[in-house]
Amino acid sequence: MNRFDRDRQLLDGSTFLEDDGAMQEIEDLARGDGGTSLFESDFEHMMQLRAASQFAPSGQPIPDDPDRFTMHRQLVREEQEREARTVSLTPVSFDRGVLGHVATILPGNPVSVAGPLTRVAFWPGEDRECQVVSVSVQPAAPFPTADVAQIIRPYCQIEWGVMGAKYRAEIDCAYGMNLVLNASSVTVSVGLEATSNTAIDVFGSVGFWSIGRSVPALRTAYIDDLAQTAEQRVDRPPFASTIYGFDRVNTTLQFTIDQMTRNGTTISRRVIAANTYLTAPIPLSNDTAYVIVTNDGGSTTSARLVWGLW
């Protein structure tokens, strides 16, 4: 009797522990006997599913790891459903997508343009599965050591909907973001704003049911080196309902913020006098399409306008 046979220990009527001195493996005779017959072992069956997940149902190779993982999970789920049906509050389609992942986001080329968006999590559910969904996004590690030459301005783009309705919003995520949506499908992508010059890793995930809390959803407009008497147009992003905040480096300068309609008509003006601050959010009119930010001071400075989404 060799060691492989000697170390076989009976666990129950059909399950054994195989120990060949290098590895241990539980063998299930319902699936196979380790390769000594026409039946396949658990390991062989797992490898068969892994191989099958490299190809789409059409027979075309699947090039991306997240998509191969999705196909593998689908094959496993289909097999589990055939063997034993289970009851769960989680949507049946939960493993058709990738509910959590990490992606490296790159600056634009050149850096004067925004970097490419990278999908980090998605769930393509069915309309009848529409429910409360939570979304979380955060850089995978603290930003690199402070360096005046590094510019890192990450944001996430979230697309969600049900049936024929589809929505899209862009939200800041430099220090983490989470929110709750009502949807049957969600896609989370991450990217870097124009002028960013340093790549970072970002986590993203989609979960079911409410997380019970959320942080304000904000979107920052970067106004860099605005010369004296110069102005800059800032388009209103989807779902923006307020100018949540505004500040500038040189607080001794006066700034003006004009709300504009799509045809260029001024409908509201807010003057932020020298040595004063925006102390409360500015509500946006229903017909505000963009704002004009004007530096009324006597020198160049930078500013940030923060949109409040929800």
Dihedral over alpha carbons 168, 170, 176, 180 (to 10 degrees): -30
Looking at mean pLDDT, say which of 17-31, 63-77, 171-185 comes out highest.
171-185
> Contact, 234 vs 278, CB < 8 A?
no
Q: Give the neighbor-by-neighbor strand order of the sheet with 15-19.
A: 9-10, 15-19, 24-28
Arithmetic mean of pLDDT over the chain? 85
Contact 266, 260 (CB under 8 A): yes
pTM for this entry: 0.69
User: Start-end ranges of CATH 2.60.120.380 in the chain?
Assistant: 97-215, 219-308
Token pair in block for residue 32? 């196979």
Residues in the chain: 310
| Percentage of the residues of the chain whose pLDDT score is greater than 70 | 82
Per the model's pLDDT, the better-predicted residue between 93 and 214 turns out to be 93
Percent of the chain with pLDDT over 90: 59
Q: Which of 278, 266, 275, 269 minimizes the C-alpha distance to 305?
A: 278
Q: DSSP character for 81? A: H
Tell me the CA distances in angstroms from 209 to 64, 89, 206, 266, 296, one per residue in order.
Answer: 29, 10, 10, 43, 48
Separation between Cα atoms, residue 193 and residue 155, nearest integer Å = 7
Question: Could you tell me the sign of the dihedral formed by the alpha carbons of 197, 198, 199, 201, in that order?
Answer: negative
Amino acid identity, residue 37? S
- d(C-alpha 112, C-alpha 120), whole Å: 24
Strands 255-260 and 266-272: antiparallel
Q: Among 35-44, 79-88, 119-128, where is mean pLDDT lowest?
A: 35-44
Judged by average pLDDT, the poorest of 42-56, 148-162, 275-289 is 42-56
pLDDT tens per residue, range 218-247: 999 999 999 999 999 999 999 999 999 999
- 161: phi then psi, degrees, rounded to nearest 5: 170, -175
CATH class of 219-308: mainly beta
> What confidence category does residue 12 fall into, taking pLDDT thresholds of 50, 70 and 90?
very low
Q: What is the pLDDT of residue 85?
A: 66
How does pLDDT run across 245-259, given as a tens digit for each residue? 999 999 999 999 999
Confidence bin at 83 (pLDDT 50/70/90): confident
User: By mean pLDDT, which of 30-34, 39-43, 203-207 is the weakest?
Assistant: 30-34
Q: Regarding the domain delimited by 97-215, which CATH topology (the fold level of the hierarchy) does it fall under? A: Jelly Rolls (2.60.120)
